[in-house]
Amino acid sequence: MSFPHLHTRPLPPLPAIPSKAGKLAFCILALAPFLFGLLALYLGQDTNWDLRNYHWYNAYALLNGRYDLDLLPSQIPYFYNPALDVPYFLLATHVSAKVATLLLGSVQGINFILIFMLCHATLIIPNPRQKVWVCTLLAALGMLGGGGIAQIGTTFYDNITSLGLFSSTLLTLRFFSRMMDTPSWKRSLGMAALCGFPAGLMMGFKLPFVIFCVALCGALLLVTGPLKRRVWIAFGFGLGVLLGLMLTLGPWAWHLQARFGSPLFPYFNNVFHSPLTLQSSMRDVQFIPSSWSDRLFFPIIFTAVPWRVGEIPWRDLRIPILYFLLPLCVMLRLLFGRNKNAPDKLTSFYASRYLLWTCVLSYIVWLFLFSIYRYIIPLEMLAPLLIVIVMSLLPLRPSARAILTSVLLLIIAATIVPGNWGRRQTWLDQAVQVTAPPLPDSESLMILMAGFEPYSHVLASFPPHIAFVRIQSNFSSPDEPKGINQVIKDRVTRHKGSFKLLIPNFQMDHAVTALTYFNLKVVPQTCQAVEDHLYDSRLELCDIRHVTTSGSP
């Protein structure tokens, strides 16, 4: 069965560029990633909380088989898929911190190339050189947002998973006409699956990326063409997402199922019912707005009070501007139609409609599922292009639209205040540097961790045969009724050798309390300093001794 041909021209993601403009575009795209690498160096060495808590340790644990030796050093993220952390860890353990950051920032700069290509595929500007410059400026502004700058050269990786979003979008735009027009259902399904595959890969690496997978798939149902074919294409896209998801998440989900009784442990345990944690979803809902008034005006709220969507201050007006501009321009277009004296020739219909629906759906899913700003950094990157698309709906002359759009973008650029998740301006030789005391008699040693601070990154500096067990964390404390506490207690109880405690010096009180549940006690006079040079902090490494149930030695 086939569908009638859609009488529209095919839409390549990067239309042919005349030679002079093509050379200009090539130079810009070849240079841009390196410039973002230099920007990462300028911003300083990454010291963010998550790097110290799990991005460094999880990669170390995966590469060195420590998931069978340690238990919970990185708190809740101990259960996150560590695959995305491996490339940077391998890089940063073989080159200097500056070189590793330069290369990480350059990889993140590939987003610039993909955004440029999306702009080039979407905008209809007759002058080739002018089009290249417009796409360059939109891509640059997309990359340099309040949240985007904060992540350049850091290990949050929302600007790495974004590569999957932009790749899937470009593939969809490239094959959309062929998927709609081909008489072969199988061929249409295969192309749709190919489009969804990059997004699925990134969702497997980082599950919050689900918001964009849902949006990309759902937007296919809302573009032009026969409904049955749109449903078929969306189904194929979903299959591609699932295939990519299985490839990157499957092995880790199998590990979690085998070790902890749930493929997504500890999340959605109200569905998977592992006995090791509470029967709840465990989602972080602290940022999700609870009232409809907050939901309606949420972009204004979190722009004024950034702590509503994260832990650091920043400012960027593009999301609230786009949020209110979109319904306004759509309403004006419906009321007044096109200006017949100035027909709309600024944007491609396919691309603009698909991008706008992806934007709307991803925001809605994000609002109800997370409301954590880091997770919509890719939407921040696309916002300048989306604003241009939305402004093209206004029934105005092209010159008037261009002036208004330029003013809006200039206001956005002039008011950006980038966030900072923690950087040091004095660079270390290596990404992580620790000075630890020698441990000559450590063959039978187990080191316990406690408190709620992130410091598992220092573990890679200890002898590799030492087991680390965290008895207190943001996932579990010994006084909580969780099955995982019994697993921790069994590990500690079965250990026949000696113990030490590793703890930030200002969290010692937490550790003393937690140790009482294991009939253990710190020996303060034995404490030695462990210097964490990355964060310029001191940890204590102390002997632990057993006490009787009455509390006496």
Task: Give the helix/strand (H/E) hosting 494.
Answer: helix 483-494
CA distance 422 to 167: 30
Per the structure block, which two tokens stand in for 273?
A: 């019912």
> With 90 as the cut, is the pLDDT of residue 347 above it?
no
> What letter represents residue 443's amino acid?
E
Residue 452 is given by DSSP the state S
Q: What is the overall mean pLDDT for the chain?
A: 93
pLDDT, tens digit, for every residue of 237-292?
A: 999 999 999 999 999 999 999 999 999 999 999 999 999 999 999 988 999 999 99
Considering only CA atoms, which of 210, 291, 179, 260 is closest in space to residue 476?
260
- Which of 20-29, 274-283, 376-385 has the highest mean predicted lDDT (pLDDT)? 376-385
Residue ranges of domains in the chain: 19-262+283-414, 434-546
The proportion of the chain whose per-residue pLDDT surpasses 70, expressed as a percent, equals: 94
Least confident of 78-92, 141-155, 233-247, 393-407: 393-407
> With 60 as the cut, is the pLDDT of residue 343 above it?
no
> With 90 as the cut, is the pLDDT of residue 316 above it?
yes
In sequence order, the 6+-apart residues with CB closer than 8 A to the CB of 5 are 181
CA distance 173 to 180: 11
Which pLDDT value is given to residue 339? 55
For residues 494, 75, 443, 440, the Cα torsion angle rounded to the nearest 10 degrees is: -140
Contact 46, 463 (CB under 8 A): no
In sequence order, the 6+-apart residues with CB closer than 8 A to the CB of 196 are 168, 213, 216, 217, 236, 237, 238, 239, 240, 241, 243, 244
> For strand 423-424 and strand 499-504, is the pairing parallel, antiparallel, or unpaired?
unpaired
Rounded to an integer, the average pLDDT of 109-138 is 96
Residue 335: which pLDDT band, with cuts at 50, 70 and 90? confident
CA distance 264 to 309: 24
Chain centroid offset of residue 390 CA: 26
The Cβ of residue 282 has, within 10 Å, a number of other Cβ atoms equal to 18
Which pLDDT value is given to residue 337? 73
pLDDT, tens digit, for every residue of 51-93?
A: 999 999 999 999 999 999 999 999 999 999 999 999 999 999 9
Helices and strands (DSSP H and E) totals, the chain: 21, 8
> Phi, psi at residue 360, to the nearest 5°?
-60, -50
Rounded to an integer, the average pLDDT of 414-439 is 97
Burial string for 394-429 (b: 16+ CB within 10 Å, else e) reads bbbeeeebbeebeebbeebbeebebbebbbeeeeee
pTM for this model (two decimals): 0.93
Rounded to an integer, the average pLDDT of 111-115 is 98
Identify the residue with better confidence: 4 or 494: 494
> Phi, psi at residue 284, to the nearest 5°?
-80, 105
> With 70 as the cut, is the pLDDT of residue 179 above it?
yes
Considering only CA atoms, which of 84, 50, 228, 73 is closest in space to residue 159?
84
> Phi, psi at residue 356, to the nearest 5°?
-65, -45
Residue 13: which pLDDT band, with cuts at 50, 70 and 90? very low
Which pLDDT value is given to residue 412? 98
Identify the residue with better confidence: 341 or 361: 361
Contact 215, 365 (CB under 8 A): yes
Residue 227 is given by DSSP the state H
Q: What residues pair up with 528 in beta bridges, in sequence order?
A: 541
Starting at the earlier edge strand, list the strands of the sheet with 537-546.
434-435, 520-532, 537-546, 499-504, 446-449, 467-470
> With 80 as the cut, is the pLDDT of residue 182 above it?
yes
Rounded to an integer, the average pLDDT of 452-461 is 97
CA distance 114 to 118: 6
Contact 336, 395 (CB under 8 A): yes
Residue 19: which pLDDT band, with cuts at 50, 70 and 90? confident
> With 60 as the cut, is the pLDDT of residue 212 above it?
yes
